[in-house]
Amino acid sequence: MTTYVDTSALLKRYVDEDGSDVADAWLQADPVLVTSWITLVEVRRNLARLLDGNALADARRQFAADVDAVAMMAVDEPLSRAAAEIGEVLGVRSLDAVHLASAQRLQVPALTFLTFDLRQAQAARSLGFTVVGV
């Protein structure tokens, strides 16, 4: 099994909020997790916005360890072109389009797409992914 992990799902591992238990269960259930390098930027920015002090330092350390255990997709020209097409056709936000294009690039027939972003979930379903989280 392979699960593409959106930032909204991975962030729940470090910030306790609705859906954190569900996200953590999915993250632990699949040994093959994939995300985009843009997740590094998104998670770090959100951690700095939501946490401070020791909680922020602990979350950063845990996230750094998790990044080492997750397959990270590079954002290159072909992926950016695919994301631009997805963004135009589906009307999703730019970074969501990059995540969706990254998942598509994997060409995994039974790919699970883990997200807690409703708009992104709808777009992922329209691309044929099995969506969990939302």
State how many domains the chain has. 1
Tell me if residue 118 falls in helix, strand or coil.
helix
Share above pLDDT 90 across residues of the chain, in percent, rounded to a whole number:
97
Write the pLDDT tens digit of every residue in 42-96: 999 999 999 999 999 999 999 999 999 999 999 999 999 999 999 999 999 999 9
Confidence of residue 1 (pLDDT cuts 50, 70, 90): confident
- pLDDT confidence of residue 98: 98
Q: What percent of the chain has pLDDT over 70?
A: 100
pLDDT digits 0-9 by tens, 34-43: 999 999 999 9
* Owning domain of residue 45: 3-133
Between 1 and 125, the more confident residue is 125
DSSP string for residues in 8-74: HHHHTTTS--TTHHHHHHHHHH-S-EEEETHHHHHHHHHHHHH--HHHHHHHHHHHHHHHHHSEEE-
Average pLDDT, the chain: 96
CATH number, position 53: 3.40.50.1010
pLDDT at residue number 41: 97
Give the pTM: 0.94
